[in-house]
Structure 1
């Protein structure tokens, strides 16, 4: 069985498994990261989103072989030293969740969006988050939370700073 090496939430990993096995399955079943959620299994809802070298990907349709030599970030890797990432803090403050099932995928997509667009307009947030589905229809709160996260991120870079 082939072995795959990648960095997961800042730590080196090596896993022996089938090359075409979904990254979602490896993360949840082999590595115990339950923040990565199975939604549709077709890459359409994005509840399973992780960042692969900083880009949001649906882990349910991403074979583990594509993670080889790359960095994988899950929601479990966002907080640093017990301090919430600005996106996590903003989602909490804005109540940008209801059932919470889509939240980890939403947060990781927001992190990627804010990396490329640090001060997004409401329209840019709506477009950037467009592929992530929320069954509870918390979209207005999510947009508000992402814009708040941009402000919190800017404050963190002026002050002590925060990884992510």
Structure 2
């Protein structure tokens, strides 16, 4: 049996994908965007990190975090974010027997995907992936039209043109 070991590098930049437990037709993350923002704010206050980029979709999110130079404990941060967000929502979701046994809610998938950013090219590929995701999933035709994305900040900073990933500019989408 192969055991997965998470990479833990102090001060590294990580890409994450985090999903709701029930993704089909679920819009909790955008419906309760203020609660999600509060969960991040509270966690960052006690366990600092920098959000380099992020997109929140109805049923999952992608983000890039940079951790402090002496810290690699992103699992704790995710536990806190998930717990705080869950506490702010009324109960009512399906909770499996195994989750009930452990006293867990049924909002988030237990696991998440993490990837250590290796170099500038890897960083830019993940930035593009994050910012293109609402278009990929058919939520909007242009990246600029999705309100829950750091894409807008990157446009203001001059890293992307406002029409990046627009239908007439798909050839420019991924560099």
Fold shared by both chains (TM-score > 0.5)? no
User: RCO (CA 8 Å, sep 6+): is it higher in 1 or 2?
Assistant: 2
Q: Which structure has the larger Rg over C-alpha atoms?
A: 2
TM-score normalised per structure 2: 0.33
